[in-house]
Structure 1
Amino acid sequence: MTICSRRNFVSGMGALILMTGTTIKSVAQNEKSLKTVRYAMVHDETACIGCTACMDACRKVNSVPEGVSRLEIIRSQPYSEFPHVKYEFFRHSCQHCSNAPCVSVCPTGASYIDKQTGIVDVNRDLCVGCQYCIVVCPYRVRFIHPVHKSADKCNFCRDTNLAKGKQPACVESCPTNALTFGDINDPNSSISLKLKTTQNYRTKVELGTQPNLYHIPSKEGEIRR
Protein backbone atom coordinates (compact mmCIF):
# COMPACT_ATOMS: atom_id res chain seq x y z
CA MET A 1 0.00 0.00 0.00
CA THR A 2 2.82 2.36 0.83
CA ILE A 3 4.62 1.66 -2.44
CA CYS A 4 1.45 2.20 -4.46
CA SER A 5 0.77 5.41 -2.61
CA ARG A 6 4.26 6.69 -3.30
CA ARG A 7 3.99 5.71 -6.95
CA ASN A 8 0.63 7.41 -7.21
CA PHE A 9 2.00 10.49 -5.46
CA VAL A 10 5.04 10.72 -7.79
CA SER A 11 2.86 10.10 -10.82
CA GLY A 12 0.40 12.71 -9.66
CA MET A 13 3.14 15.25 -9.00
CA GLY A 14 4.58 14.65 -12.44
CA ALA A 15 1.22 15.29 -14.03
CA LEU A 16 0.76 18.40 -11.89
CA ILE A 17 4.16 19.77 -12.87
CA LEU A 18 3.41 19.06 -16.53
CA MET A 19 0.05 20.78 -16.29
CA THR A 20 1.51 23.71 -14.35
CA GLY A 21 4.26 24.11 -16.91
CA THR A 22 1.71 24.09 -19.70
CA THR A 23 -0.42 26.64 -17.82
CA ILE A 24 2.55 28.94 -17.22
CA LYS A 25 3.54 28.69 -20.87
CA SER A 26 -0.04 29.38 -21.93
CA VAL A 27 -0.30 32.42 -19.63
CA ALA A 28 3.03 33.74 -20.92
CA GLN A 29 1.85 33.36 -24.51
CA ASN A 30 -1.42 35.13 -23.71
CA GLU A 31 0.40 38.00 -21.99
CA LYS A 32 2.68 38.32 -25.00
CA SER A 33 -0.27 38.45 -27.37
CA LEU A 34 -1.96 41.08 -25.18
CA LYS A 35 1.03 43.40 -25.11
CA THR A 36 0.27 46.74 -26.71
CA VAL A 37 2.45 49.36 -28.27
CA ARG A 38 2.82 52.85 -26.88
CA TYR A 39 3.63 55.33 -29.57
CA ALA A 40 5.84 58.29 -28.72
CA MET A 41 7.87 60.91 -30.52
CA VAL A 42 11.21 62.62 -30.01
CA HIS A 43 11.96 66.10 -31.31
CA ASP A 44 15.69 66.70 -31.59
CA GLU A 45 16.16 70.42 -31.08
CA THR A 46 19.82 70.14 -32.02
CA ALA A 47 18.85 68.91 -35.50
CA CYS A 48 15.74 71.03 -36.13
CA ILE A 49 16.34 73.97 -38.47
CA GLY A 50 12.86 75.49 -38.18
CA CYS A 51 12.01 74.96 -41.85
CA THR A 52 8.36 74.11 -40.95
CA ALA A 53 8.21 71.35 -43.57
CA CYS A 54 6.59 69.22 -40.85
CA MET A 55 3.83 71.76 -40.38
CA ASP A 56 3.09 71.89 -44.11
CA ALA A 57 3.06 68.10 -44.41
CA CYS A 58 0.75 67.75 -41.40
CA ARG A 59 -1.68 70.27 -42.85
CA LYS A 60 -1.73 68.61 -46.27
CA VAL A 61 -1.97 64.95 -45.18
CA ASN A 62 -4.60 65.58 -42.50
CA SER A 63 -6.56 68.26 -44.37
CA VAL A 64 -6.13 70.81 -41.59
CA PRO A 65 -7.92 74.08 -42.49
CA GLU A 66 -6.24 77.45 -42.46
CA GLY A 67 -6.46 79.33 -39.19
CA VAL A 68 -5.83 76.27 -36.99
CA SER A 69 -2.88 73.92 -36.62
CA ARG A 70 -2.16 70.48 -35.20
CA LEU A 71 1.55 71.22 -35.06
CA GLU A 72 3.67 74.32 -34.61
CA ILE A 73 7.41 74.86 -34.55
CA ILE A 74 8.05 77.77 -32.23
CA ARG A 75 11.18 79.83 -32.83
CA SER A 76 12.97 81.43 -29.90
CA GLN A 77 14.33 84.94 -29.75
CA PRO A 78 17.73 85.24 -31.45
CA TYR A 79 20.79 84.90 -29.28
CA SER A 80 24.55 85.29 -29.73
CA GLU A 81 26.02 88.10 -31.80
CA PHE A 82 26.02 88.80 -35.51
CA PRO A 83 27.06 87.08 -37.73
CA HIS A 84 26.70 84.05 -35.44
CA VAL A 85 23.07 84.63 -34.51
CA LYS A 86 21.27 81.44 -33.48
CA TYR A 87 17.74 80.31 -32.75
CA GLU A 88 16.15 77.46 -30.84
CA PHE A 89 13.15 75.58 -32.20
CA PHE A 90 10.49 73.92 -30.07
CA ARG A 91 7.80 71.48 -31.21
CA HIS A 92 4.34 72.42 -29.92
CA SER A 93 1.76 69.64 -30.39
CA CYS A 94 -0.29 67.04 -28.53
CA GLN A 95 1.77 65.14 -25.95
CA HIS A 96 -0.38 61.98 -26.13
CA CYS A 97 -0.38 61.80 -22.35
CA SER A 98 -0.79 58.40 -20.71
CA ASN A 99 -2.73 60.24 -17.98
CA ALA A 100 -4.59 62.71 -20.17
CA PRO A 101 -6.74 65.38 -18.45
CA CYS A 102 -8.67 65.93 -21.69
CA VAL A 103 -9.90 62.33 -21.57
CA SER A 104 -10.90 62.54 -17.91
CA VAL A 105 -13.17 65.57 -18.34
CA CYS A 106 -14.88 64.61 -21.60
CA PRO A 107 -18.59 64.13 -20.80
CA THR A 108 -19.37 62.01 -23.87
CA GLY A 109 -16.29 59.81 -24.18
CA ALA A 110 -15.29 61.56 -27.41
CA SER A 111 -11.77 62.10 -26.10
CA TYR A 112 -10.14 58.76 -25.47
CA ILE A 113 -6.85 56.86 -25.37
CA ASP A 114 -6.57 54.08 -27.91
CA LYS A 115 -5.76 50.96 -25.88
CA GLN A 116 -3.73 49.37 -28.66
CA THR A 117 -1.44 52.31 -29.40
CA GLY A 118 -1.62 54.77 -26.52
CA ILE A 119 -2.61 57.50 -28.97
CA VAL A 120 -4.94 60.16 -27.56
CA ASP A 121 -7.67 60.79 -30.12
CA VAL A 122 -11.10 62.35 -30.60
CA ASN A 123 -14.22 60.64 -31.88
CA ARG A 124 -15.71 63.35 -34.02
CA ASP A 125 -19.19 61.79 -33.94
CA LEU A 126 -19.35 61.87 -30.12
CA CYS A 127 -17.88 65.35 -29.60
CA VAL A 128 -20.43 68.04 -28.72
CA GLY A 129 -17.97 70.91 -28.83
CA CYS A 130 -18.22 71.73 -25.13
CA GLN A 131 -14.50 72.63 -25.07
CA TYR A 132 -13.86 71.13 -21.63
CA CYS A 133 -10.86 69.29 -23.07
CA ILE A 134 -9.46 72.50 -24.51
CA VAL A 135 -9.73 74.26 -21.17
CA VAL A 136 -8.01 71.55 -19.10
CA CYS A 137 -5.18 70.73 -21.53
CA PRO A 138 -2.05 72.17 -19.88
CA TYR A 139 -0.23 72.16 -23.23
CA ARG A 140 -2.81 74.27 -25.07
CA VAL A 141 -2.73 72.14 -28.21
CA ARG A 142 -6.44 71.51 -28.86
CA PHE A 143 -8.83 73.54 -30.98
CA ILE A 144 -12.33 73.37 -32.43
CA HIS A 145 -12.20 72.26 -36.04
CA PRO A 146 -13.87 75.06 -38.03
CA VAL A 147 -15.52 72.61 -40.44
CA HIS A 148 -16.44 69.64 -38.24
CA LYS A 149 -17.16 71.77 -35.13
CA SER A 150 -15.48 69.15 -32.95
CA ALA A 151 -12.29 69.12 -30.89
CA ASP A 152 -9.20 68.37 -32.92
CA LYS A 153 -5.42 68.01 -32.52
CA CYS A 154 -2.44 65.87 -33.56
CA ASN A 155 -3.18 62.14 -33.51
CA PHE A 156 0.15 60.98 -34.98
CA CYS A 157 -1.63 60.68 -38.37
CA ARG A 158 -3.49 57.70 -36.93
CA ASP A 159 -6.20 57.67 -39.59
CA THR A 160 -4.00 58.76 -42.52
CA ASN A 161 -0.30 57.84 -42.75
CA LEU A 162 -0.26 55.46 -39.80
CA ALA A 163 -3.28 53.60 -41.15
CA LYS A 164 -1.28 52.97 -44.33
CA GLY A 165 1.71 51.60 -42.44
CA LYS A 166 3.71 54.80 -42.91
CA GLN A 167 5.36 57.18 -40.48
CA PRO A 168 3.53 60.36 -39.43
CA ALA A 169 3.66 63.07 -42.08
CA CYS A 170 5.89 65.33 -40.00
CA VAL A 171 8.48 62.56 -39.60
CA GLU A 172 8.50 61.69 -43.30
CA SER A 173 8.93 65.31 -44.37
CA CYS A 174 11.70 66.36 -41.97
CA PRO A 175 14.86 67.02 -44.02
CA THR A 176 17.22 66.74 -41.04
CA ASN A 177 15.71 63.67 -39.34
CA ALA A 178 14.94 65.74 -36.26
CA LEU A 179 11.90 63.58 -35.48
CA THR A 180 11.86 59.98 -34.30
CA PHE A 181 8.62 58.06 -33.91
CA GLY A 182 7.92 54.55 -32.69
CA ASP A 183 6.90 52.11 -30.00
CA ILE A 184 8.40 53.10 -26.68
CA ASN A 185 7.34 49.75 -25.20
CA ASP A 186 9.77 48.02 -27.55
CA PRO A 187 13.27 48.31 -26.01
CA ASN A 188 14.85 47.72 -29.41
CA SER A 189 12.87 50.35 -31.32
CA SER A 190 14.70 53.35 -32.74
CA ILE A 191 12.93 55.71 -30.34
CA SER A 192 13.77 53.62 -27.26
CA LEU A 193 17.42 53.41 -28.28
CA LYS A 194 17.54 57.17 -28.90
CA LEU A 195 16.06 57.94 -25.50
CA LYS A 196 18.60 55.63 -23.86
CA THR A 197 21.57 57.30 -25.53
CA THR A 198 20.64 60.99 -25.45
CA GLN A 199 19.76 63.55 -22.84
CA ASN A 200 16.07 64.36 -23.15
CA TYR A 201 13.24 66.04 -21.33
CA ARG A 202 9.45 66.25 -21.29
CA THR A 203 7.39 69.30 -20.42
CA LYS A 204 5.19 69.78 -17.36
CA VAL A 205 5.83 66.28 -16.04
CA GLU A 206 5.19 67.59 -12.54
CA LEU A 207 1.48 67.66 -13.42
CA GLY A 208 1.41 63.87 -13.65
CA THR A 209 0.22 63.82 -17.25
CA GLN A 210 2.92 61.32 -18.33
CA PRO A 211 3.52 62.90 -21.76
CA ASN A 212 4.85 60.83 -24.65
CA LEU A 213 6.48 63.67 -26.54
CA TYR A 214 10.18 63.94 -25.73
CA HIS A 215 12.67 66.66 -26.59
CA ILE A 216 16.43 66.53 -27.01
CA PRO A 217 17.54 69.93 -25.66
CA SER A 218 19.24 72.36 -27.99
CA LYS A 219 21.93 73.10 -25.42
CA GLU A 220 23.96 70.37 -23.82
CA GLY A 221 23.37 70.10 -20.09
CA GLU A 222 20.28 72.25 -20.26
CA ILE A 223 17.36 71.24 -18.06
CA ARG A 224 13.97 72.66 -18.86
CA ARG A 225 10.34 71.78 -18.21
Structure 2
Amino acid sequence: MIGRINIAICDDEKIHVELLERYVHNWAKKNNIKLGIEFFHSAEAFDFSWSMDKRYHILLLDIQMPGINGIELAKRIRKSDNLLNIIFITAIPDFIGEGYDVSAINYLIKPIEEKKLYECLDKAVQKVPKKEKTILIDVEGETIRIKQEDIIYIEAFSHTVDINTVSEKYATRKNIGIIENELEQNAFVRCHRSYIVGLKHIKRIGKTDIELDNGDVIPVSRRLYTNTNMAFIKYFRGEIN
Protein backbone atom coordinates (compact mmCIF):
# COMPACT_ATOMS: atom_id res chain seq x y z
CA MET A 1 0.00 0.00 0.00
CA ILE A 2 1.27 3.46 -0.81
CA GLY A 3 1.56 5.95 2.03
CA ARG A 4 -1.39 8.17 1.12
CA ILE A 5 -4.41 7.90 -1.14
CA ASN A 6 -5.63 11.15 -2.72
CA ILE A 7 -9.32 11.08 -3.59
CA ALA A 8 -11.30 13.76 -5.42
CA ILE A 9 -15.09 14.02 -5.25
CA CYS A 10 -16.70 15.88 -8.14
CA ASP A 11 -20.46 16.39 -7.67
CA ASP A 12 -22.60 19.52 -7.91
CA GLU A 13 -25.03 18.43 -5.17
CA LYS A 14 -23.84 19.29 -1.66
CA ILE A 15 -25.87 16.56 0.05
CA HIS A 16 -24.22 13.86 -2.08
CA VAL A 17 -20.76 15.32 -1.53
CA GLU A 18 -21.25 15.23 2.24
CA LEU A 19 -22.52 11.64 2.10
CA LEU A 20 -19.60 10.50 -0.04
CA GLU A 21 -17.15 12.30 2.23
CA ARG A 22 -18.49 10.47 5.28
CA TYR A 23 -18.40 7.10 3.54
CA VAL A 24 -14.87 7.66 2.23
CA HIS A 25 -13.57 8.65 5.68
CA ASN A 26 -15.23 5.56 7.19
CA TRP A 27 -13.61 3.35 4.54
CA ALA A 28 -10.18 4.90 5.10
CA LYS A 29 -10.45 4.50 8.88
CA LYS A 30 -11.55 0.89 8.54
CA ASN A 31 -8.57 0.08 6.29
CA ASN A 32 -6.04 2.23 8.17
CA ILE A 33 -5.39 4.34 5.07
CA LYS A 34 -3.96 7.84 5.16
CA LEU A 35 -6.35 9.95 3.17
CA GLY A 36 -6.23 13.18 1.22
CA ILE A 37 -9.65 14.29 0.00
CA GLU A 38 -10.74 17.29 -2.06
CA PHE A 39 -14.12 18.45 -3.35
CA PHE A 40 -15.16 19.97 -6.66
CA HIS A 41 -18.66 21.17 -7.52
CA SER A 42 -18.17 21.20 -11.29
CA ALA A 43 -16.24 19.28 -13.92
CA GLU A 44 -14.54 22.51 -14.97
CA ALA A 45 -13.19 23.07 -11.45
CA PHE A 46 -11.70 19.58 -11.27
CA ASP A 47 -10.34 19.81 -14.82
CA PHE A 48 -8.43 22.98 -13.91
CA SER A 49 -6.98 21.51 -10.71
CA TRP A 50 -6.06 18.22 -12.37
CA SER A 51 -4.34 19.98 -15.28
CA MET A 52 -2.07 21.76 -12.79
CA ASP A 53 -1.28 18.80 -10.51
CA LYS A 54 -2.12 15.16 -11.21
CA ARG A 55 -1.89 14.11 -7.58
CA TYR A 56 -5.20 12.26 -7.39
CA HIS A 57 -5.41 8.46 -7.32
CA ILE A 58 -9.20 8.07 -7.33
CA LEU A 59 -11.97 10.29 -8.71
CA LEU A 60 -15.60 9.89 -7.59
CA LEU A 61 -17.32 11.56 -10.51
CA ASP A 62 -20.96 12.53 -10.89
CA ILE A 63 -22.19 12.20 -14.46
CA GLN A 64 -25.04 14.70 -14.58
CA MET A 65 -23.67 18.18 -13.89
CA PRO A 66 -24.24 21.59 -15.48
CA GLY A 67 -21.71 22.50 -18.17
CA ILE A 68 -19.28 19.67 -18.84
CA ASN A 69 -20.77 16.37 -17.71
CA GLY A 70 -18.87 13.54 -16.07
CA ILE A 71 -18.51 11.46 -19.23
CA GLU A 72 -17.01 14.38 -21.16
CA LEU A 73 -14.59 15.10 -18.31
CA ALA A 74 -13.50 11.45 -18.16
CA LYS A 75 -12.79 11.46 -21.91
CA ARG A 76 -10.64 14.57 -21.49
CA ILE A 77 -8.71 12.90 -18.69
CA ARG A 78 -8.08 9.74 -20.69
CA LYS A 79 -6.44 11.68 -23.51
CA SER A 80 -3.34 12.08 -21.35
CA ASP A 81 -3.79 10.01 -18.18
CA ASN A 82 -4.60 6.31 -17.87
CA LEU A 83 -3.64 6.08 -14.20
CA LEU A 84 -6.49 7.95 -12.53
CA ASN A 85 -9.10 5.50 -11.20
CA ILE A 86 -12.57 6.81 -12.05
CA ILE A 87 -15.74 5.72 -10.25
CA PHE A 88 -18.89 7.16 -11.78
CA ILE A 89 -21.80 8.34 -9.64
CA THR A 90 -25.18 8.66 -11.35
CA ALA A 91 -28.90 8.80 -10.63
CA ILE A 92 -29.77 6.87 -13.80
CA PRO A 93 -28.02 3.94 -15.50
CA ASP A 94 -28.34 5.26 -19.07
CA PHE A 95 -24.64 6.13 -19.40
CA ILE A 96 -23.21 2.83 -18.18
CA GLY A 97 -22.14 1.70 -21.66
CA GLU A 98 -19.96 4.78 -22.12
CA GLY A 99 -17.91 3.90 -19.05
CA TYR A 100 -16.10 1.17 -20.96
CA ASP A 101 -14.62 3.81 -23.26
CA VAL A 102 -12.84 5.50 -20.35
CA SER A 103 -11.96 2.39 -18.31
CA ALA A 104 -14.10 3.32 -15.33
CA ILE A 105 -13.78 1.15 -12.21
CA ASN A 106 -17.56 0.97 -11.83
CA TYR A 107 -20.85 2.86 -11.69
CA LEU A 108 -22.66 3.60 -8.45
CA ILE A 109 -26.34 4.42 -8.66
CA LYS A 110 -27.73 7.07 -6.31
CA PRO A 111 -28.64 6.75 -3.49
CA ILE A 112 -25.18 5.34 -2.81
CA GLU A 113 -24.89 2.18 -0.74
CA GLU A 114 -21.90 2.41 1.59
CA LYS A 115 -20.94 -1.25 1.12
CA LYS A 116 -20.87 -0.93 -2.67
CA LEU A 117 -18.72 2.20 -2.44
CA TYR A 118 -16.29 0.29 -0.21
CA GLU A 119 -16.07 -2.46 -2.83
CA CYS A 120 -15.28 0.07 -5.56
CA LEU A 121 -12.68 1.84 -3.43
CA ASP A 122 -11.06 -1.48 -2.54
CA LYS A 123 -10.81 -2.32 -6.23
CA ALA A 124 -9.48 1.12 -7.12
CA VAL A 125 -6.82 1.18 -4.42
CA GLN A 126 -5.49 -2.17 -5.63
CA LYS A 127 -4.85 -0.53 -9.00
CA VAL A 128 -2.87 2.34 -7.47
CA PRO A 129 0.81 1.59 -8.22
CA LYS A 130 2.83 0.94 -5.08
CA LYS A 131 6.19 2.05 -6.44
CA GLU A 132 5.35 3.15 -9.94
CA LYS A 133 7.68 5.79 -11.30
CA THR A 134 6.40 8.52 -13.60
CA ILE A 135 7.69 11.70 -15.18
CA LEU A 136 5.83 14.90 -15.98
CA ILE A 137 6.38 16.73 -19.25
CA ASP A 138 4.81 19.74 -20.90
CA VAL A 139 3.29 19.08 -24.32
CA GLU A 140 1.75 22.08 -26.09
CA GLY A 141 0.76 23.71 -22.81
CA GLU A 142 -0.60 20.54 -21.19
CA THR A 143 1.10 18.61 -18.40
CA ILE A 144 1.36 14.93 -19.30
CA ARG A 145 2.19 12.13 -16.87
CA ILE A 146 4.08 9.18 -18.38
CA LYS A 147 4.83 5.86 -16.72
CA GLN A 148 8.57 5.25 -16.89
CA GLU A 149 8.12 1.56 -17.63
CA ASP A 150 6.27 2.53 -20.83
CA ILE A 151 9.17 4.59 -22.18
CA ILE A 152 11.01 2.70 -24.92
CA TYR A 153 13.54 5.39 -25.78
CA ILE A 154 14.08 9.13 -25.75
CA GLU A 155 15.57 11.06 -28.66
CA ALA A 156 16.87 14.63 -28.49
CA PHE A 157 16.78 17.09 -31.38
CA SER A 158 17.92 20.71 -31.60
CA HIS A 159 14.97 22.24 -29.77
CA THR A 160 12.72 19.33 -28.83
CA VAL A 161 12.86 15.87 -27.29
CA ASP A 162 10.73 12.93 -28.46
CA ILE A 163 9.65 10.44 -25.80
CA ASN A 164 8.69 7.19 -27.52
CA THR A 165 6.39 4.99 -25.41
CA VAL A 166 4.60 1.71 -25.98
CA SER A 167 1.43 3.57 -26.96
CA GLU A 168 2.48 6.88 -28.53
CA LYS A 169 5.15 9.53 -29.04
CA TYR A 170 5.33 12.79 -27.07
CA ALA A 171 7.28 15.86 -28.18
CA THR A 172 8.45 18.22 -25.45
CA ARG A 173 10.92 21.06 -25.01
CA LYS A 174 12.16 19.61 -21.73
CA ASN A 175 15.94 19.12 -21.79
CA ILE A 176 17.08 15.51 -22.20
CA GLY A 177 19.57 15.96 -19.35
CA ILE A 178 16.80 17.01 -16.97
CA ILE A 179 14.67 14.06 -18.07
CA GLU A 180 17.62 11.70 -17.55
CA ASN A 181 18.00 12.87 -13.94
CA GLU A 182 14.30 12.15 -13.29
CA LEU A 183 14.42 8.60 -14.65
CA GLU A 184 14.98 5.47 -12.57
CA GLN A 185 18.75 5.02 -12.82
CA ASN A 186 18.72 1.22 -13.02
CA ALA A 187 16.03 1.07 -15.71
CA PHE A 188 17.56 3.39 -18.33
CA VAL A 189 20.94 4.03 -19.90
CA ARG A 190 22.38 6.83 -22.02
CA CYS A 191 23.56 5.03 -25.15
CA HIS A 192 24.32 8.12 -27.24
CA ARG A 193 24.49 11.84 -26.55
CA SER A 194 21.05 12.17 -28.18
CA TYR A 195 19.46 8.94 -26.93
CA ILE A 196 18.33 7.33 -23.68
CA VAL A 197 16.97 3.79 -23.86
CA GLY A 198 14.76 1.75 -21.53
CA LEU A 199 16.68 -1.43 -20.69
CA LYS A 200 13.56 -3.62 -20.57
CA HIS A 201 12.77 -2.71 -24.18
CA ILE A 202 16.14 -3.68 -25.68
CA LYS A 203 16.01 -6.71 -27.98
CA ARG A 204 19.59 -6.67 -29.28
CA ILE A 205 22.74 -4.58 -28.84
CA GLY A 206 25.29 -4.37 -31.64
CA LYS A 207 28.52 -2.44 -31.82
CA THR A 208 26.85 0.52 -33.52
CA ASP A 209 23.11 0.17 -32.94
CA ILE A 210 20.38 -1.14 -30.66
CA GLU A 211 17.26 -2.97 -31.79
CA LEU A 212 14.19 -2.38 -29.63
CA ASP A 213 11.15 -4.54 -28.99
CA ASN A 214 8.94 -2.22 -31.05
CA GLY A 215 11.16 -2.75 -34.12
CA ASP A 216 12.94 0.62 -34.00
CA VAL A 217 16.73 0.75 -34.29
CA ILE A 218 18.71 3.51 -32.57
CA PRO A 219 22.44 4.28 -32.49
CA VAL A 220 24.87 3.45 -29.71
CA SER A 221 28.05 5.51 -29.62
CA ARG A 222 31.49 3.90 -29.48
CA ARG A 223 32.24 5.77 -26.25
CA LEU A 224 29.07 4.53 -24.50
CA TYR A 225 28.86 1.01 -25.95
CA THR A 226 30.61 -0.82 -23.10
CA ASN A 227 28.55 0.88 -20.38
CA THR A 228 25.32 0.33 -22.32
CA ASN A 229 26.07 -3.35 -22.93
CA MET A 230 26.99 -3.98 -19.28
CA ALA A 231 23.83 -2.25 -18.06
CA PHE A 232 21.76 -4.40 -20.44
CA ILE A 233 23.41 -7.64 -19.26
CA LYS A 234 23.05 -6.78 -15.56
CA TYR A 235 19.41 -5.80 -16.01
CA PHE A 236 18.42 -9.09 -17.60
CA ARG A 237 20.49 -11.14 -15.18
CA GLY A 238 18.51 -9.52 -12.41
CA GLU A 239 21.60 -7.92 -10.89
CA ILE A 240 19.79 -4.57 -10.97
CA ASN A 241 16.07 -3.95 -10.53
Larger Rg: 1
**Of Structure 1 and Structure 2, which has the larger fraction of its residues in strand?**
2
Instruction: Tell me the TM-score normalized by structure 2.
Output: 0.22
**Of Structure 1 and Structure 2, which has the larger fraction of its residues in helix?**
2
Instruction: Tell me the TM-score normalized by structure 1.
Output: 0.23
RCO greater where, 1 or 2, for CA within 8 Å and sep 6 or more? Answer: 1
